[in-house]
Amino acid sequence: MPGRARANGEGSIFPYRNGFAAYVWVTKPDGKRTRKYVYGQTREAVHDKWIRLHQQAKAGPVVTRLPTLAGYLDSWLRDVVEPNLAPATAANYDMFVRLYITPELGSRRLDKLSVRDVQTWLNQLRSACQYCLQGKDAARPEGKRKCCAADRCCKRTVSDRTARDAWTTLRAALNNAVRDELLTRNPAALLRVAKPRPRTDKPWSVDEVRQFLESARADGDPLYAAYVLILVLGLRRGEVLGLRWEDVNLTANELSVTYQLQRIRRQLLHRETKTEASDATLPLPAICTAALQSRQEDQKRHQEHVGRAWQDNGLVFTTRLGTPVEPRNFHREFKTRCRKAGVREISVHTTRRTCATLLVALDVHPRVMMRILRHSQIAVTMNIYAQVASEATETALTRLGDQFL
What is the spatial distance between Cα 77 and Cα 69, in angstroms, rounded to a whole number? 12
State residue 2's pLDDT score. 45
Side chain identity, residue 113: L
Judge whether 131 lies within some domain. Answer: yes
Instruction: List Cβ neighbours of 169 (8 Å cut-off, separation of 6 or more).
Output: 92, 93, 96, 97, 101
State residue 28's pLDDT score. 77
Judge whether 195 lies within some domain. Answer: no
What is the spatial distance between Cα 267 and Cα 318, in angstroms, rounded to a whole number? 17
Q: Are residues 127 and 165 in the same domain?
A: yes
Judge whether 336 lies within some domain. Answer: yes
- DSSP character for 318? B
What is the spatial distance between Cα 359 and Cα 364, in angstroms, rounded to a whole number? 5
Query: Which of residues 166, 190, 214 is at a domain's end?
Result: 190
Judge whether 7 lies within some domain. Answer: no
Pairing state between β 280-283 and 12-16? unpaired
Residue 216 lies in domain: 206-396
Q: Are residues 239 and 363 in the same domain?
A: yes
Q: Are residues 224 and 347 in the same domain?
A: yes
State residue 70's pLDDT score. 93
Q: Are residues 178 and 291 in the same domain?
A: no
Q: Are residues 139 and 236 in the same domain?
A: no
Query: Which of residues 190, 221, 243 is at a domain's end?
Result: 190
Judge whether 324 lies within some domain. Answer: yes
Instruction: List Cβ neighbours of 300 (8 Å cut-off, separation of 6 or more).
Output: none
Judge whether 47 lies within some domain. Answer: yes
Neighbour-count burial of 194, counting CB atoms closer than 10 A to its CB (0-12 exposed, 13-18 middle, 19+ buried) = exposed
Smallest CA-to-CA distance from 355 within 290, 401, 308, 288 is with 288
Query: Which of residues 164, 190, 216 is at a domain's end?
Result: 190
Q: Are residues 211 and 186 in the same domain?
A: no
CATH of the domain at 305: 1.10.443.10
CB 334 within 8 A of CB 346: no
What is the spatial distance between Cα 266 and Cα 28, in angstroms, rounded to a whole number? 41
CATH of the domain at 146: 1.10.150.130
Q: What is the CA radius of gyration of the chain?
A: 30
Q: Are residues 323 and 266 in the same domain?
A: yes
pTM score of the predicted model = 0.74
Show pLDDT as tens, one digit a residue, over the chain (405 residues): 344 445 454 557 888 888 899 888 888 777 788 888 888 888 888 888 888 888 888 887 777 677 899 999 999 999 999 999 888 899 999 999 999 999 999 999 998 899 999 999 999 999 888 878 888 777 888 778 888 877 788 888 888 999 999 999 999 999 999 888 788 889 999 998 888 877 777 888 888 999 999 999 999 999 999 999 999 888 999 999 999 999 999 999 888 888 899 998 888 888 887 665 556 788 888 889 999 999 999 999 999 999 999 998 999 999 999 999 999 999 999 999 999 999 999 999 888 888 887 777 777 777 777 777 777 777 777 666 555 545 555 555 455 445 444
What is the spatial distance between Cα 357 and Cα 366, in angstroms, rounded to a whole number? 12
Q: Are residues 269 and 385 in the same domain?
A: yes
Q: Are residues 252 and 386 in the same domain?
A: yes
Q: Are residues 144 and 258 in the same domain?
A: no
Number of domains in the chain: 3
What is the spatial distance between Cα 360 and Cα 290, in angstroms, rounded to a whole number? 24
CB 325 within 8 A of CB 317: yes
What is the spatial distance between Cα 339 and Cα 333, in angstroms, rounded to a whole number? 10
CB 109 within 8 A of CB 183: no
CA dihedral (204, 210, 214, 216) positive or negative: positive
Beta pairing partners, 39: 21
Judge whether 404 lies within some domain. Answer: no
Judge whether 198 lies within some domain. Answer: no
Q: Are residues 34 and 152 in the same domain?
A: no
Side chain identity, residue 9: G
Q: Are residues 350 and 246 in the same domain?
A: yes
What is the spatial distance between Cα 119 and Cα 126, in angstroms, rounded to a whole number? 11
State residue 198's pLDDT score. 72
Contacts within 8 Å (CB) and 24+ apart, 202-208: 202/344, 202/346, 203/346, 203/350, 203/351, 203/353, 203/354, 203/356, 203/357, 204/343, 204/344, 204/346, 204/350, 204/351, 204/354, 204/357, 205/389, 206/358, 206/361, 208/343, 208/344
State residue 284's pLDDT score. 87
Ramachandran angles phi, psi of 279, nearest 5°: -75, 130
CB 131 within 8 A of CB 147: yes
Neighbour-count burial of 250, counting CB atoms closer than 10 A to its CB (0-12 exposed, 13-18 middle, 19+ buried) = middle
Smallest CA-to-CA distance from 359 within 231, 235, 225, 215 is with 231
